[in-house]
Structure 1
């Protein structure tokens, strides 16, 4: 709904008592929007405390500005994007101005186009872009009241939008009774009761006789200065009760007593007026035509409207509105079950089945006195439509209601399992578990039992209970063996991934158990990429790298192939890169990762984008491209901030460790290890130990490095993290004077790298062999390492080979030869940004008699914030403002604002100068 800020809507500031501070905050917010800034504000307070009145005051202050309205309605909470419809309908004529992915996402949500389920955060970016487009014509204010009753999909989108407002002249004002997860990070203004003097004056205006001061003060105290209570409660009390101070509410029961006051007034109304109020309470859209038509079906005449309006409980204009949400809830709860069903049935009959099928079936469900297969099936279809629009929470709600209306036990179990599946996708893990319990009430067949166990395992894994997931998934996979071999293989692959994630923290269901069971299955006649992946990983665990390598290469090739399905890439995600990790194949790793990143961005799969970005950042950091890693990490932060998802800072940990910055790395490692241990994710603990070893080796803290590397290399020894930790172990052990530990580590490393056979693997192995060796054998090994690593893109490993060779040469008293290697190492490490390792090289050069000054990054580089640096890099690479905004969840206007600041800091005037400016600044 759209209006213009107009004084005629508001009776003047005199209608508000004692709200100077709150009004000043609202005035400042509107003024900032009028001046061209973006602002968000949440007004939070109890029912009746005056939030709606303050929002009306803000609208009054927005004179001449465009104002968009939306209201949360309790009965609308299960209808996906219903509040967003209210807010965005006036803007849909500008939909074609959005970038294609955003336009398609929003078009799907509003039923204007067909497509796959859009990511709700892509929808949020589309709404942000739409508001930015509208604001180009002039500032606007969006007012969302009763936000505690927003449907979840709308609340998430509006929260995303409100957090991203920067320079768009858009204000978003929310009124809510309680804090909500979707709005928690926004500026908040707590609305409390009036101060004593103002509360007394308001109470005096509502009472027709003079109150005893002590009674008046008690009413003020016990209502907490709640304006609605001060105005409404005297209506429900007799003169004697008011005069004597009896019958007054306690503070804790105030909302109930206000509602009771409304109920008393409603009870005195004629039956037809009460029925009209009930229809209006059950109709969530506020459509006066629907209310009137439904009223006519129940024989309610036009005089009922006059009665409701005269009592000040209801207003019927462009929309049907109650004086206060407590009136709506009072009316609905006071009605008999029979009357409520009648009202919903009438509303269902007058709702267009083609234009609004989901709201119609929701009314039919509320009208059903008992199980009704026709309505249950219609709810199931509505769930499918909600899921197609990206409203997973709504889809689950439709299915839950469908379950309640299903009489047949088998069908009821199927629908409960379907509802559990959708609830899992929506992140409603407790609801999903409750639905599984509902399904198990009946007698399940084998297929349903297998599906139940599969869902329990997936819920355990997704909800962070990593150690509980493997045995549940193994149990489900075993059941699928007799029913569907393809599903059995997929579930064993799920179980293998869960066991890898849990590591030593798994309560049961080890990698060996999953691998043994998977290899016992009949081989697929035409293996899918996932079948190859499962066979290769299971063989790796049971027979070792040499036996597994050929199958792992086939699996890598299958997922890197152009014709692999999007579903396969998305279904198996990070598991598809495990073979290339095991085989030290950075080319295949990069190819698969780039493909997955492209698909995630193109499809708007923002929930999984941080995972793909993390893998990308780790790889490019290992290749020595720290600016690209920083850009990916900044993008991870942008996505996580927008989506409110959580992911361990694996990339940031590695980058800080490779830079040799303990003040940055140590807190990240400590926090991530703590979270991983609490969530039963052993792989996270192991990763932190490996990163700690890199950090300590760079700093020359070899005893610390050895301890961390030993811990990391002991976990799941047949896999990749343990192998990656072995070069750190060998270096730390040699430097700590423990050659026997180094020799044992080298032997394990040779087993891991020989099966891989890549230059990366054999180069790192040769470098470690040189550390353990002596004389000509050691020197030849160093040269072999450098020769092999020069053929790779793994620059940091090559630089470290030059460093270790130079250190060895100096210890052999070959100072001139050492200087050449150390100078190369120092230049490479400094250029990459590996500060601690570069300092090691500098100190060694000093020991050879060569003077080397410490280098520092350019001052200009440090002036850019991480977000500005990322925007500059993307703009340098040719992305337009809308494309940069789509990457970083910013509007094009905000990107332009940042670019102006970047140009000023870099002393340039256009995008074409970015490449040279960033190169001179070290990026």
Structure 2
């Protein structure tokens, strides 16, 4: 390294500085980059960020640092970071611009999804980066407000083709939204570099053994080494009498800082406490608070002389640890007095939330006036989408409320907000607080329901110590019963949630529980004089189906689905209400019970559209896999896989715990990759037992039956289908029956197949749809005797193909061509067999159903037909993201609209489209419309 490349004032950081210079060169070259510096307090992260900023002259540099006392104010850090970029706000699409305006308190509107805000920030940065590459430096990320760090984590994971770098510094203890991003671990200096640094700050001599001991006990922590001259006398250091503490280096530094501040004059300490308690660093506010306290500003001079703080337009502590030390050095009474002064000095109109927060910290006991201010602040935070901030305000308001009835209500509201902010432990503590007060019967029922909802989510996520799915379901049903005659609408919703949970529990629960719950739901519905909500009809249909058998529940299910389609066309907000965790299974299962492919397709499409339009990334993954199921039965496996991949990408970006994706398992089975499918089936079975989710066991049985029927391993398929059919999983049980029919017919177990046919006829035969009647005709044809019932079999196969041909369920139509062709070969009608087998083979190859395609190829070979090779579709050359972009571009969407739908920047869309054009050998968007996968 030449002398001009050596990092000035940074001892032993050559490797780290080289990495940081590569960040600059990467972004200056037009690429994006994300890096998280991890390390303990005082290890030098801030110094490295300073080096990065000093050497980034070719880039536009934005800086923000987390402040511990500012952590509860939603978007505080993000607003500070983005303030210099607001000149580009007009370049954003309207929904993004509105989301950012509301989040930053610049406008009013519906609370924005925080990830729509993230997309807006990404677009804002991308717009600025078109003029000059952008470097965002984020220090002390662990002290940013929660929604800011979540948003920046989202942006970091969506950067791809923009000349933008996000470089974070965070403590070792982990900052969850940043987990998984590229990291540079910053460790203590080597002994040699530590000795060199220590020598550089010593004005006099130091006893070598003492120096070595200091180096060893500080573990090379640079800040600890730099503080040695301030915390030990020359005699101790030179004469060998230095005594160290037993605390860790960061702990010792903070202790030394506290001692240093306590040695300052009392007025100086109080002014330092004002600066430490005021997170914005506003000098004008500092001066007003100091005047209110009657302390002259000159009293700050000893702290400035000691290098503790800088007084200017912004109050700046020399190190974040000094800020926390200044706060820790004061006793509780002094802290309250300072917060009271800051509350009085804060403009109630310009910054009411910080004023309320200071007033809360000034309160020595219950204070209903302050609690009301906090409640108002919570409402403002919630209107900006700051759920975590709203939860913090409500939590503090509950603690400060004197009236026990009002305290219980506020604690319950705070618990709801904490749950929505993904802080279930805090939510449970607040529910405990609420229950210690005099709650009404309605409030107690609401507490029960909220606990049950959280337990259901925990059980499905497989959390350690979480209740089994069945137990969570019983708690939801208990809440439903408690809510009867108190809040009948909430009661019916809780019945829906409980029945949904029991459907997930499936065979690992008690079937009697589901029947009992359905009867309770029907009784609750009977108390409603006239049903009007689609969800009420859904509950009536599902409950009727459970209690009355296959002939019951169909009409209210159909009414519910029809109403949902009308509501979906009228307003996306209806759709978003359906997509809470418990309801999609009921909606999808109802459509499948009715063999109504149109309802499944329309409602899944509406779910994705609504989630994209609202920027609701918490909901979008569920909607995507819902739609993936539609494309799966339509034989559009590549599209289904693209949607599943997108759902995976979003769950990783948003840090939402991803539940098992049922359609991903089915997709793997249909593709016929035996090794991958068997691994996934085995893993899913183990997960099902762990969570108590028996529905997954039914699904793995179905998936295995599909897999083995495709491979021609009919005995294995029969065993798997029998397992799947041991319990009636509403929604896909009929599909399991179909697999049982084929496996039984082909393996020679006609009794099993005949029994399954009778069961299937009650379901599919009663549907009245081409899908249901076509599937039933195909199943019946497989059992017809080749000799005695040849005409009947031929007629049934023909009916099945004609009916399925009127639908979009291409996967089932292809299988019908296959079994028809196999039958025709057996009865020696080879020419007809070749035609149907060729149709089946071609369809399976296009789908990517490799096992079924190979089964068709073998049958064709047995007829003497030479199978022509299939050219892979051009779409197969594209990645999942490229396929999505190409399809949307082919549908006529602009780059900006595509970026908004896929939560990427417009620049990234352009980058992907250039690659798409090159791969497909085309030159215009018009040509994309002709591609088969863009239909």
Query: Is the shorter-chain TM-score for this pair beyond 0.5, marking a shared fold?
Result: yes
Report deviation, 1:425: 1.2
Comparing 814-823 with 318-327, which one deviates more in the overlay?
814-823
Alignment equivalent of 2:660, drawn from 626, 648, 652: 648
The equivalent residue for 2:518 is 515
- The equivalences for 1:403-422 within 5 A come to 403-422=398-417
Match of 1:765 in 2: 776
Cα deviation for residue 545 of structure 1 reads: 2.5
2:470 maps to which residue? 467
TM-score by length of 2: 0.94
Deviation of 1:373 after TM superposition, in Å, equals 0.6
Instruction: Kindly indicate whether the alpha-carbon contact (under 8 Å) linking 1:530 and 1:568 is maintained by their aligned counterparts in 2.
Output: no
Cα distance in structure 2, aligned partners of 1:781 and 1:13? 81
Q: Is the 8 A contact 2:886 2:934 kept in 1?
A: no
Q: Is the 8 A contact 1:519 1:535 kept in 2?
A: yes
Choose the corresponding residue for 2:893, options 875, 879, 885: 879
What's the CA shift for 1:486?
Answer: 2.2
- Within 1, Cα distance between the matches of 2:6 and 2:369? 53
User: Residues of 1 paired with 2:644 and 2:595: CA distance?
Assistant: 23
Question: Residue 470 of structure 1 contacts residue 506 of structure 1 at CA under 8 Å; is this kept in 2?
Answer: no
Mapping of residues 133-172 of structure 1, within 5 Å? 133-172=127-166
Are the counterparts in 1 of residues 134 and 165 from structure 2 also a CA contact under 8 Å?
A: yes
What SS class does the counterpart of residue 217 from structure 1 fall into?
Answer: helix
The question of 1:71 aligning with 2:65 is answered: yes
Measure how far apart 1:567 and its partner are: 4.8
Answer whether contact 2:139 2:169 (CA < 8 A) is retained. Answer: yes
Mind listing any 5+ residue stretches in structure 1 that lack a counterpart?
A: 1-9
Equivalent in the alignment of 1:888: 902
Question: Partners of 1:99 and 1:673 in 2: how far apart?
Answer: 45
Query: Which stretch shifts more, 631-640 or 562-571?
Result: 562-571
Q: Does 1:601 align with 2:615?
A: no
Cα–Cα, structure 1 residues 723 and 231, in superposed 2: closer, same or farther, change >3 Å? same
Aligned counterpart for 1:47 among listed residues 17, 41, 59 = 41
Give the Cα separation in 2 of the matches to 1:619 and 1:799.
Answer: 16
Alpha-carbon deviation of 1:831? 3.2
* Distance of 1:673 and 1:79 partners within structure 2: 44
> Any conservation in 1 of the 2:206–2:239 contact (CA below 8 Å)?
no
1:29-428 equivalences in 2 (<5 Å): 29-178=23-172, 179-243=174-238, 245=240, 248-249=243-244, 252-428=247-423
CA offsets per residue over residues 884-919 of structure 1, 9 Å max, x none?
Answer: 222222211111112212222222222223344x44
**How many residues in Structure 1 have an aligned counterpart in Structure 2?**
910
Distance 1:571 1:786 in 2: 38
Deviation at 1:677, TM superposition (A): 3.3
**1:480 lines up with 2:486 in the alignment:** no
Aligned residue for 1:7?
none
Residue in 2 aligned with 1:868? 882
User: Distance between the aligned counterparts of 1:781 and 1:742, measured in 2?
Assistant: 16
Q: How much is the aligned-residue C-alpha RMSD, in angstroms?
A: 2.1
1:903 maps to which of 907, 917, 933: 917
Whole-angstrom CA distance in 1 between matches of 2:682 and 2:283: 59
Q: Which moved more, 1:403-412 or 1:848-857?
A: 848-857
The aligned counterpart of 2:577 is 571
Task: Give the deviation of 1:518 after TM superposition.
Answer: 1.0
Deviations 1:824-870 (A, max 9, x none): 22233333332221221111111112221343515x54442222222
Distance 1:831 1:48, change over 3 A: closer
Q: Is the 8 A contact 1:470 1:508 kept in 2?
A: no
CA-CA distance at 1:367 after TM superposition: 0.4
Indicate if the aligned counterparts of 1:286 and 1:320 stay in contact, CA closer than 8 A: yes
User: Using the alignment, how far apart are the partners of 1:439 and 1:496 within structure 2?
Assistant: 27
Q: 2:846 aligns with which of 804, 807, 831?
A: 831
Structure 1 residues 445 and 163, CA, compared in 2 at 3 Å: closer, same or farther? same
Query: Aligned residue for 1:700?
Result: 712
1:602-641 alignment, distance < 5 Å: 602-641=613-652
* Pairing 1:912–2:926 present: yes
Unpaired segments of 5 or more residues in structure 2?
461-465
Q: Within 2, Cα distance between the matches of 1:802 and 1:256? A: 73
Name the counterpart of 1:529: 534
The 3-state SS of whatever aligns with 1:547 is: coil
Structure 1 position 788 matched with structure 2 position 791: no
Instruction: Spell out, residue by residue over 1:673-730, the C-alpha distance to the aligned partner (whole angstroms, 9 max, x if none).
Output: 433432332223322321222122111121222222222222235x221111110111
Partner of 1:494 in structure 2?
497
- Deviation sequence 1:462-488 (CA, Å, 0-9, x none): 223533321111111111113232222
Indicate the SS of the match to 1:68: strand
* Cα distance in 1, alignment partners of residues 261 and 827 from structure 2: 98
- Tell me if the contact between 2:221 and 2:249 (Cα under 8 Å) persists in the aligned partners: no
Secondary structure of 1:269's aligned partner: coil
**Offset of residue 219 of structure 1:** 0.6
CA distance in 2, matches of 1:782, 1:171: 61
2:689 is equivalent to residue 686 of structure 1: no
Q: Secondary structure at the match of 2:732?
A: helix
1:716 aligns with 2:728: yes
Name whichever of 460-469 and 85-94 sits farther off: 460-469
From the superposition, tell whether residues 408 and 600 of structure 1 become closer, same or farther in structure 2 (CA, over 3 Å). same
Distance in 1 between the 2:49 and 2:820 partners?
A: 71
After TM superposition, the structure 1 stretch with the greater mean CA deviation from structure 2, 870-879 or 341-350, is 870-879
SS at match of 2:281: coil
User: In the alignment, is residue 845 of structure 1 matched against residue 860 of structure 2?
Assistant: yes
Residue 439 of structure 2 is aligned to residue 444 of structure 1: yes
Deviations 1:55-77 (A, max 9, x none): 11001101142211111011111
For residues 86 and 248 of structure 1, do their structure 2 counterparts lie closer, same or farther at Cα, with a shift above 3 Å needed?
Answer: farther
Question: What is the aligned counterpart of 1:18 among 12, 33, 36?
Answer: 12
Q: Is the 8 A contact 1:881 1:895 kept in 2?
A: yes
Relative to structure 2, which stretch is displaced further, 832-841 or 65-74?
Answer: 832-841
Secondary structure at the counterpart of residue 725 of structure 2: helix
For the 8 Å contact 2:6–2:14, the answer to whether it is kept is no
**Could you report, residue by residue, the CA deviation over 1:580-603 in whole angstroms, capped at 9, with x for unpaired residues?**
111000011212222222222222
Aligned-pair CA distance for 1:341: 0.7
Q: How big is the shift at 1:519?
A: 1.3
Deviation of the 1:281 alpha carbon: 0.4
Counterpart-to-counterpart distance in 1, 2:655 and 2:362: 37
